[in-house]
A and B are shown apart, each in its own frame.
Chain A
C-alpha cells in the first residue's frame, strides 16, 4: 500500500497526464464525426482480421448445413425448371390439370448409410414416406445416376444402388441414341455393364451413357458414365464397360426424383401387354 502510494506520488504527473489525455482523446473520438469515423475504421481494421478468421472457422463448421441448404435449393430449382422446360406444345388440356407442366418432382436428401463392397449394395437416405418419398423413385447425385428407391419407412428410405446385381436400368449412348440395358457385374464399384447394344452401332471409348425415360423412373438424359471398353459377346451384341460417373464411395447429398406420371404410364402400357 505504502509502495503504491509512493508510486502514485512519484508518477502523479504521468497519471494525471494519461487521464487528461485519455479524456481529450475520448472527446476527440466521440464529439467529432470525422474522428469518430476514423476511430471506428481503425478498430474495424484491427478486428476485421480476427473476425475473418473466426468466421472462416465458423463457416467451415457450418459447411454441412450450408451444403444441405444448397442441395435443398437445388432440388427446388430443378423442380422449377422442370415446370418451365416442359414445352408448352399442348393445345388442349384439362382445366383441372394442375400439374400439366410438371413431370418430375425433386427432393433433396442425405445418405445416412451406404455400402459399395457387397454384391447387392443398398444405401439409406434420411427422408421417407412423410417427406413424400415412395418406392420406384429415382435417386441421383449431382445429376448422375445413383439408384432407385426400393423401400420406405416414415422417415427413411432404402435405395438400391447401381452397384447391385439386381439393378437394371434402361440406358443409351448419348452419341447415337441406341439404348440397352445397364447392370452391374459385381466386380468393380466403378464399372457397370451396358448390354444389348447391337454390333452395327459405332461408338467410341469415352462416349457418354445416359438414362432413357423408358423405365418411367428416371427422367431422360441423366448421366450414368462413360464408355471405358467394350467387347463383342456371343450373338449380335456388344458388352460395353461403363465407367460410372457417380462416386459411390462418397455418396452424400442426393436428389430423389419422383415421376408424377409413372402410374399413368404403366397403367396404359399394361393394357397392351
Chain B
C-alpha cells in the first residue's frame, strides 16, 4: 500500500515536472499545446473512491495552474476529467470487468483499450481547458482545431510514456 502511494507520488512529481519544465515550453505554431499531466488522473487505481479522485484532480490542476500562472483554468478542466473518469471507466470496461485492485494500465488491458480510455478523458479535459482559456465562442472552430491537434499530441505522448512505463 505504502509502496503504491510512493509510486503514484513519484509518477505525480515526474509528470508535473515534465509538464512544467518541458511540455509547457513546447508550442508548435500556437495550435499544439500538449498537456500530459492529465495522465496522472488516468493512471490512478480503478477502485479509487470518487471523492479522493476529485481531490487529487483538484490538487494536480492547482499545482499546474500555479506553475503556469493561470489560476483555476487547469483546475476546472482536471476536476471535470476526474469527475468523468469513473463513467468513462464504466463504458470502456473490458468484457470481464476490471480486476480488483488493478491500475488502468496499457500493460493489463491492452493498447487499444488504453487509447480509447485515454482519448475520451484527454479530449474532455482539453475541450474544457482550451475553451476556458479563450473564454468565448468567437473563433469557435479555431479553438476546436487547437483542441483536436493538442489532444492528438497529448494522447500520443501519454501513450508513449505509458509504453515506456510498461517496459520498466
Contacts and interface: CB of A to CB of B under 8 A. Distances in A.
Contact of B71 (A17, A20, A28): A28
Interface stretch (B1-9, B48-56, B144-152): B48-56
A99 interface: no
A21 B79 contact: yes
Nearest to A41: B136
Contacts of B86: 13
A16 B135 contact: no
Contacts of B76: 21, 24-25, 28
A31 to B, nearest CB: 4
B136 A38 contact: yes
B103 interface: no
Task: Indicate the size class of the contact surface on chain A.
Answer: 10 to 19
Contacts of A21: 76, 79-80, 83
A13 B50 CA distance: 5
Contact of B51 (A12, A25, A29, A31): A12
B72 A17 contact: no
A17 B54 contact: yes
B43 interface: no
B79 A24 contact: yes
A153 interface: no
A20 B50 CA distance: 13
Contact of A20 (B58, B70, B135): B58
Contact of B58 (A23, A26, A32, A38): A23
A26 B61 CA distance: 14
A38 B72 CA distance: 14
Interface string B62-79: 000100001111011001
A16 B54 contact: yes
Interface in B7-41: none
A34 interface: yes
Contacts of A20: 54-55, 57-58, 75, 79
Nearest to B76: A24
Interface string A105-132: 0000000000000000000000000000
Given A24-B58, A34-B135, 16 more contacts: A12-B50, A13-B49, A13-B83, A16-B50, A17-B83, A20-B57, A20-B58, A24-B76, A25-B72, A26-B72, A27-B72, A28-B72, A28-B73, A28-B76, A35-B132, A38-B135
* Shortest Cβ-Cβ A-B pairs, 3 listed: A28-B72, A13-B50, A27-B72
Interface of A: 12-13, 16-17, 20-21, 23-29, 31-32, 34-35, 38
14 contacts: A13-B86, A16-B50, A16-B54, A20-B55, A20-B75, A21-B76, A24-B76, A27-B71, A27-B72, A28-B71, A28-B72, A28-B76, A32-B73, A35-B132
